[in-house]
């Protein structure tokens, strides 16, 4: 990954557009360059621009800290961490842009843009815009904040945090890391390496372990399932349930016998009641049947006259035809008279049309010559009007040109006078300011002297302030040297005491024997885990054994129950076979009975004639045609249908009984199979658990003797409780020893840290004392130089004042003190010289303008005279033409009444055409009327002929109808009356007679059926008890059966609840085993790296990270400074260096010089960069600050190390405000203050670069 360029505008103090192109000279050829500038100028803003362009964030705003709100110019409040706050105050928009080569070798350009509403500086801040394009073809890769973030990370191979740690080296953080104690080191290490995630992982593991333990506890509470019966109690309930089922079956059998006897008596009573009722109904209907003979006679008479209906209909149709033909003849007569009248009217209209057309023909002959004369005059008038219009247009144009020329002449005359007055004014002002010409001629040297005077004044002021500061600093350093001498004496005393305390504490730790205690603790912990697992296996073995016994007992009971159900099934199957045979016979008889009652049979029976042979059997004896025969047949059919119904009900009951038995058998079979499977499963589980227990017992390795064997433990798992309690007691004692060891080691670490601090402080104080002495000497030398420079500037000021005074007096200017009036003097000089230049320019401009105006005025005067003459000539021609037009118009007005020729001719032509069309229409109408009159005459003759034929047909029909009525003995009036009654009464009469006949036959059948039913019931033996006694006995039996069913229901519910409880207990046990296994796993992980505050795994991760960093840093350090090698302390996060030049002697990092410590911290920073960017080589690095405290020798050493990085293919940018870097690093990106909180960026290099 390589950074190619960084650009931006309106970012914090960098308001002007800037670009740092690392691919252009001088930066392209420089492996090391500096980013310099005063504090606060905006050096770090360049790195902010880089991060904004790539990730939309910048280090200063994304760092941990407060997130207070700051007011925006638009009135809204923004969080301090909002990247949009980097926009320069007063700017309407800003951007940051970065070009880079990605991990895929392709060039990309990432851009971050922010703007205000309406592109105004006071507008509200809008949402940030992001984009990523490919440089080679400017093709968009992504747009949108999240999409661009993801695409940049993918192409860089680095996240934002990794980028900060890889490209922006935290050398300053590692320098602080070398000086810090363990706690401070942990915080710094977490900051620069991002190991916070390991703290989070440690917390989450501890939380998962706690949740797993809670889950085990909850499942153990649920394992004692409520409602679970003991095996003996459950067996007793099952036996009781079987006994109750037998009692219920016996009571049900008794109840069925009682119900059968009761049904026999009820059926006997019902048959007697129904027979009496049917007999009474038969007697009543028989009387009604005999009294209906008159209605039967009327029905016969209605049916006889029905044969006359066709003859009567023909009479009706003939009468309708006579009436229709008579009406048609009358209508034809009326139409004939109307046609005669219309023909006469059409003849008159044709005569009138001919007369009008003859009149118009005569008028056309008269108008033809008048139209020709009018057209000639119209043409002449048109030509005159056209010529007049052209003359008017030419006259108006000439007048307009004359007016424009007159206006232009007046304007130029006025301008000429104004320019003459302006020229006189300018010459007068130039004469008054003639001395200013001297200032203009000497302007360059004059302003150069003023600038030099201003610079000398500023230098004198700064030198004076510097002299005061340096003398004050000299006094302060003398006091500091005195204090440092006293501190050195105190440090020596404190060091001796602290070294004695460290030796004493190490002796206490050695005497405690914590290593042996730790080994014993590990042995106890391992034994406890094995013992708990063995105890859990023993408990599961006991439960599995108990479950196996219960399932075996259940299986045996189901086997016995199925044997009884199998016998019942065989009986039910035999009963169903018998009922199927009986139903088949009954259905055969009922099919014959239904066929005998079909519509076809009834039609055949109705067609039988007494003493005539039957068309089916040939017999002339028809017994069913009598009333008695039909009643006997209906009774037979009733018996057949009743037998079929009873057979169907008996067959359904037998099928239902067999289905119930089969359903019970299937349920028992499924339960038996399930019980067998459960018993086998528990048998296998018992065997497996016993084998596990044997294996666990053999590998138990108890640290002390046990008082029981494995067989006893399998029967009583609680024997291990006392053993585990003993283990807990011993573990507590060992934890106390380890806790004491931890406390002593922490105290030792604190003492060692204190000792290092004292040694570092002693060395620092020694170095500070030497440094202060050197600084005093340096200040004295510098003080002498400043005083000499101050005297030289004072002499230069005097010379400049004299030269400026002479020049200003020559130019007519007088001034007091240059120091106070210098800005005003510069402004006054600039104003005077500018005024003189304006007057010179204005004088030349007015002379040229006067000459041009005089020439234009002469030309405009000649043009105005010519246009005036042309306008007068055109006006005379127009008057002559107007008189001729009036004369011709008067002549035209006398023709055609003044009407236009075309309009007059069109009106007459239309009138002539209408007359012609009218003649044609009148002729057509007359012909049509004549034809219509002929058709009306023919229609009237045809209508009269049709009327005569219809009258003859009516006479014939009436004669035939009268003959038919005479044969029936009826008159026409009698026939009409009967026919009218049949229309209203026949249908109701037929329905009434049919209903009466059907009811009569039905009652006959019912009497016969119930007589047979009564005989059949009476033929059966009667019960010994009466109907009330049997009813009472049936109710008592029902009550007893209900009580038995209630008891069975209670027992079934208890057994169901027990079955559900057993199933639930099995489920909970499975979940409990799974939860314990999960808790065991998380417990082992938590014991290794989990903790409530997350420190356990974080310390491990920090230690591993620090080891890796030290390893990578030593590789860098070997190139930068082979003399030293970093090494991690045995405890904590301490670091020290191995000095190879001193026989691999360990040294504190505080004993190193500033340059040496810089090299080590730089090695650590480079190591972190390599660790984070190991997926892709990063060849662009930025090191922010860290040089301010280095002396000259250390600075040389640091610069040499940085230049060495160039040989590794890296480009390094050093950000610092140290002035000495300007001489050591030739290529620089300078951030220069310009005032008003603004800075500019410039890339500089020596001229010979």
In the predicted structure, residue 318 carries a pLDDT above the cut 70: yes
The interaxial angle of helices 182-193 and 1154-1172, nearest 10 deg, is: 40
pLDDT band at 1173 (very low <50, low <70, confident <90, very high): very low
CB atoms within 10 A of CB 828: 14
In the predicted structure, residue 514 carries a pLDDT above the cut 90: no
* 836 within 8 A of 441, measured Cβ to Cβ: no
In the predicted structure, residue 468 carries a pLDDT above the cut 50: yes
CATH 1.10.287 corresponds to the domain 515-709: yes
C-alpha distance across the termini of the chain, in Å: 27
Residues ≥6 apart with Cβ < 8 Å to 505? 744, 747, 748, 751
In the predicted structure, residue 803 carries a pLDDT above the cut 80: no
Does 41 or 616 have the greater pLDDT score? 41
pLDDT in tens, 743-781: 877 777 787 777 777 777 777 777 776 666 666 666 776
| 3 state DSSP class of 71 | strand
Return the pLDDT at 225.
47
CA 727 to chain centre: 58
**How far apart (Å, rounded) are the C-alpha atoms in residues 731 and 1135?**
35
pLDDT band at 147 (very low <50, low <70, confident <90, very high): very high
Residue 189: burial class (beta carbons within 10 Å; 0-12, 13-18, 19+): buried
**How far apart (Å, rounded) are the C-alpha atoms in residues 325 and 939?**
12
pLDDT band at 226 (very low <50, low <70, confident <90, very high): very low
In the predicted structure, residue 398 carries a pLDDT above the cut 90: no
Percent of the chain with pLDDT strictly greater than 70: 86
Least confident segment among 57-66, 729-738, 1092-1101: 57-66
pLDDT band at 544 (very low <50, low <70, confident <90, very high): confident
pLDDT in tens, 852-905: 777 777 777 777 777 777 777 777 777 777 777 777 777 777 777 777 777 777
Return the pLDDT at 10.
92
pLDDT in tens, 332-362: 778 878 877 887 887 877 777 777 777 777 7
Return the pLDDT at 1207.
65
Return the pLDDT at 1176.
52
Mean per-residue pLDDT, 621-650: 66
pLDDT band at 245 (very low <50, low <70, confident <90, very high): confident
**How far apart (Å, rounded) are the C-alpha atoms in residues 10 and 17?**
7
pLDDT band at 571 (very low <50, low <70, confident <90, very high): confident
CA 1243 to chain centre: 49
Return the pLDDT at 100.
93
Domain boundaries, given as residue ranges, for the chain? 185-220+1095-1175, 515-709
Per-range mean pLDDT, top range of 509-518, 779-788, 919-928: 919-928
**How far apart (Å, rounded) are the C-alpha atoms in residues 694 and 633?**
92
In the predicted structure, residue 23 carries a pLDDT above the cut 80: yes
In the predicted structure, residue 227 carries a pLDDT above the cut 60: no
| 3 state DSSP class of 82 | coil
CATH 3.50.50.60 corresponds to the domain 185-220+1095-1175: no
Return the pLDDT at 821.
66
Return the pLDDT at 1175.
46
Q: Whose CA is closest to 972, among 311, 317, 321?
A: 311
Return the pLDDT at 283.
76
pLDDT band at 19 (very low <50, low <70, confident <90, very high): very high
Return the pLDDT at 1174.
45
Half-sphere exposure of residue 651, counting CA atoms within 13 Å on the CB side? 17
**How far apart (Å, rounded) are the C-alpha atoms in residues 108 and 101?**
6
Q: What is the 3-state secondary structure (H, E, C) of 471-517?
A: HHHHHHHHHHHHHHHHHHHHHHHHHHHHHHHHHHHHHHHHHHCHHHH
Does 605 or 700 have the greater pLDDT score? 700
pLDDT in tens, 1044-1058: 776 777 677 677 777
The interaxial angle of helices 1154-1172 and 171-179, nearest 10 deg, is: 120
pTM of this prediction? 0.37
In the predicted structure, residue 1122 carries a pLDDT above the cut 50: yes
Mean per-residue pLDDT, 74-87: 82
Per-chain mean pLDDT for the chain: 77
pLDDT band at 228 (very low <50, low <70, confident <90, very high): low
Does 35 or 1203 have the greater pLDDT score? 35
Return the pLDDT at 596.
61
Q: Is the peptide bond before 1077 cis (omega within 30 degrees of 0)?
A: no
**How far apart (Å, rounded) are the C-alpha atoms in residues 1033 and 254?**
10
pLDDT in tens, 90-103: 889 999 999 999 98
In the predicted structure, residue 52 carries a pLDDT above the cut 90: yes
**How far apart (Å, rounded) are the C-alpha atoms in residues 1044 and 242?**
12
In the predicted structure, residue 18 carries a pLDDT above the cut 90: yes
**How far apart (Å, rounded) are the C-alpha atoms in residues 28 and 22?**
5
Return the pLDDT at 1186.
62
- Maximum pairwise Cα distance, the chain: 178
Percent of the chain with pLDDT strictly greater than 90: 5
Least confident segment among 179-183, 238-242, 250-254, 483-487: 179-183
**How far apart (Å, rounded) are the C-alpha atoms in residues 1003 and 1010?**
11
Mean per-residue pLDDT, 805-816: 68
Alpha-carbon torsion angle 482, 486, 492, 498, nearest 10: -130
Return the pLDDT at 595.
61
pLDDT band at 170 (very low <50, low <70, confident <90, very high): low
């Amino acid at each position: 990954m390589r950074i190619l360029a960084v650009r931006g505008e309106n970012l914090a103090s960098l308001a002007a557009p800037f670009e740092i192109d690392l691919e252009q000279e001088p930066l392209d050829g420089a492996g090391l360059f500096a980013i310099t500038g005063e504090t606060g100028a905006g050096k770090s803003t360049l790195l902010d621009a880089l991060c904004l362009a790539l990730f939309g964030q910048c280090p200063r705003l994304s760092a941990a800290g407060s997130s207070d709100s700051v007011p925006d110019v638009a009135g809204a409040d923004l969080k301090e961490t909002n990247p949009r706050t980097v926009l320069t105050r007063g700017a309407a928009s800003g951007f940051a842009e970065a070009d880079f080569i990605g991990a895929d070798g392709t060039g990309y350009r990432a851009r971050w843009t922010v703007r205000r509403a309406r592109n105004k500086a006071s507008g509200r801040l809008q949402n940030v815009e992001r984009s990523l394009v490919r440089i080679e073809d400017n093709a968009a890769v992504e747009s949108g904040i999240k999409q661009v973030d993801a695409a940049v990370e993918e192409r860089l191979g680095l996240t934002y945090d990794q980028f900060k740690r890889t490209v922006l080296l935290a050398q300053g953080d590692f320098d602080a890391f070398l000086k810090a104690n363990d706690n401070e080191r942990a915080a710094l290490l977490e900051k620069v390496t991002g190991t916070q995630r390991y703290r989070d992982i440690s917390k989450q593991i501890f939380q998962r372990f706690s949740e797993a333990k809670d889950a085990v506890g909850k499942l153990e509470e649920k394992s004692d399932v409520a409602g679970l019966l003991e095996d003996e109690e459950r067996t007793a309930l099952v036996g009781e349930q079987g006994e109750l089922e037998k009692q219920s079956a016996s009571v049900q059998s008794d109840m069925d016998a009682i119900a059968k006897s009761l049904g026999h008596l009820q059926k006997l009573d019902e048959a007697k009641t129904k027979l009496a009722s049917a007999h009474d109904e038969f007697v009543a209907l028989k009387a009604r049947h005999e009294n209906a003979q008159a209605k039967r006679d009327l029905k016969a008479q209605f049916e006889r006259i029905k044969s006359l209906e066709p003859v009567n209909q023909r009479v009706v149709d003939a009468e309708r035809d006579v009436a229709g033909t008579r009406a048609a003849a009358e209508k034809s007569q009326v139409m004939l008279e109307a046609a005669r009248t219309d023909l006469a009217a059409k003849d008159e209209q044709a005569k009138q049309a001919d007369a009008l057309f003859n009149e118009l023909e005569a008028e056309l002959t008269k108008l033809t010559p008048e139209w020709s004369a009018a057209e000639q005059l119209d043409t002449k008038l048109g030509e005159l009007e056209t010529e007049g219009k052209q003359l008017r247009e030419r006259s108006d144009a000439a007048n307009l040109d004359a007016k424009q020329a007159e206006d232009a002449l007046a304007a130029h005359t006025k301008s000429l006078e104004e320019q003459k007055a302006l020229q006189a004014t300018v010459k007068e002002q130039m004469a008054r300011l003639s001395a200013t010409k001297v200032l203009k001629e000497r302007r360059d040297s004059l302003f150069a002297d003023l600038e030099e005077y201003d610079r000398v004044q500023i230098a004198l002021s700064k030198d004076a302030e510097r002299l005061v500061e340096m003398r004050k600093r000299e006094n302060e350093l003398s006091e500091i040297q005195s204090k440092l001498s006293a501190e050195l004496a105190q440090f020596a005393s404190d060091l001796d005491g602290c070294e004695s305390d460290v030796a004493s504490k190490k002796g206490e730790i050695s005497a405690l024997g914590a290593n042996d205690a730790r080994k014993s603790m590990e042995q106890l912990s391992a034994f406890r885990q094995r013992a708990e697992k063995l105890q859990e296996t023993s408990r599961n073995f006991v439960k599995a054994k108990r479950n196996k016994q219960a399932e075996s007992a259940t299986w045996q009971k189901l086997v016995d129950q199925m044997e009884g159900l199998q016998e019942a099934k065989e009986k039910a199957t035999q009963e169903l076979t018998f009922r199927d045979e009986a139903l088949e016979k009954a259905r055969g008889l009922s099919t014959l009975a239904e066929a005998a009652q079909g519509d076809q049979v009834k039609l055949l029976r109705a067609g039988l004639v007494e003493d005539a042979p039957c068309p089916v059997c040939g017999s002339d004896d028809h017994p069913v045609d009598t009333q008695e025969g039909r009643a006997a047949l209906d009774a037979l059919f009733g018996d057949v249908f009743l037998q079929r119904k009873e057979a169907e009900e008996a067959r359904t009951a037998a099928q239902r009984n067999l289905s119930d038995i089969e359903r019970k058998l299937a349920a028992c079979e499924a339960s038996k199979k399930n019980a067998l499977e459960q018993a086998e499963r528990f048998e296998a589980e018992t065997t497996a658990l016993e084998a596990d227990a044997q294996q666990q017992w053999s590998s138990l390795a108890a640290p002390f003797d046990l008082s029981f064997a494995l067989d006893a433990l399998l029967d009583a798992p609680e024997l291990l409780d006392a053993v585990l309690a003993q283990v807990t007691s011993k573990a507590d004692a060992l934890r106390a020893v380890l806790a004491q060891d931890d406390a002593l080691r922490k105290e030792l670490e604190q003492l060692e840290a204190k000792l290092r601090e004292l040694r570092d402080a002693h060395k620092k104080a020694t170095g500070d004392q030497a440094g202060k002495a050197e600084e005093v000497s340096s200040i004295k030398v510098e003080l002498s130089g400043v005083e000499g420079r101050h005297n030289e500037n004072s002499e230069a000021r005097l010379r400049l004042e004299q030269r400026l005074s002479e020049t200003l007096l020559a130019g007519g200017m007088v001034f007091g003190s240059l120091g106070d009036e210098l800005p005003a003097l510069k402004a006054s000089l600039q104003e005077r010289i500018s005024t003189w230049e304006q007057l010179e320019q204005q004088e030349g401009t007015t002379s040229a303008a006067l000459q041009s105006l005089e020439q234009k005025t002469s030309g405009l005067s000649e043009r105005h005279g010519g246009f005036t003459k042309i306008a007068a000539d055109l006006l005379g021609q127009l008057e002559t033409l107007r008189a001729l037009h009036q004369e011709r118009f008067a002549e035209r007005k006398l023709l055609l009444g003044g009407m236009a020729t075309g309009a007059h001719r069109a009106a007459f032509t239309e009138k002539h055409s209408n007359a012609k069309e009218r003649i044609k229409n009148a002729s057509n109408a007359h012909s049509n009327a004549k034809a219509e009159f002929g058709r009306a005459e023919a229609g009237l003759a045809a209508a009269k002929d049709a009327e005569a034929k219809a009258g003859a047909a009516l006479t014939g029909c009436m004669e035939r109808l009268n003959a038919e009525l005479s044969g029936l003995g009826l008159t026409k009036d009698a026939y009409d009356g009967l026919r009218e009654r049949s229309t209203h009464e026949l249908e109701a009469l037929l329905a009434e007679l049919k209903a009466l006949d059907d009811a009569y036959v039905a009652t006959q059948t019912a009497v016969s059926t119930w007589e047979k039913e009564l005989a059949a019931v009476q033929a059966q033996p009667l019960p010994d008890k009466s109907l009330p006694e049997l009813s009472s006995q049936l109710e008592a039996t029902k009550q007893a059966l209900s009580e038995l069913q209630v008891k069975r229901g209670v027992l079934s519910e208890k057994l169901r609840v027990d079955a559900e409880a057993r199933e639930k207990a099995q489920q909970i046990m499975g979940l409990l085993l799974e939860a314990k296994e999960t808790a065991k796993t998380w417990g082992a992980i938590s014991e290794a790296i989990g903790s409530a505050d997350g420190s356990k795994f974080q310390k491990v991760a920090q230690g591993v990270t620090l080891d890796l960093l030290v390893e990578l840093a030593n590789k860098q350090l070997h190139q930068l400074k082979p003399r030293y090698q970093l090494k991690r302390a045995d405890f904590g996060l301490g670091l020290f260096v191995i000095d190879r030049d001193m026989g691999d002697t360990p040294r504190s990092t505080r004993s190193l010089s500033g340059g040496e410590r810089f090299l080590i911290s730089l090695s650590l920073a480079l190591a972190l960069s390599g660790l984070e960017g190991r997926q892709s080589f990063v060849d662009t690095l930025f090191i922010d600050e860290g040089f301010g405290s280095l002396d000259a020798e250390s600075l040389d050493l640091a610069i040499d190390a940085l230049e060495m990085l160039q040989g590794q293919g890296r480009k390094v940018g050093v950000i610092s405000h140290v002035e000495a870097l300007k001489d050591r690093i030739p290529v620089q990106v300078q951030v220069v203050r310009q005032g008003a909180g603004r800075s500019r960026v410039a890339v500089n290099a020596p001229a010979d670069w």
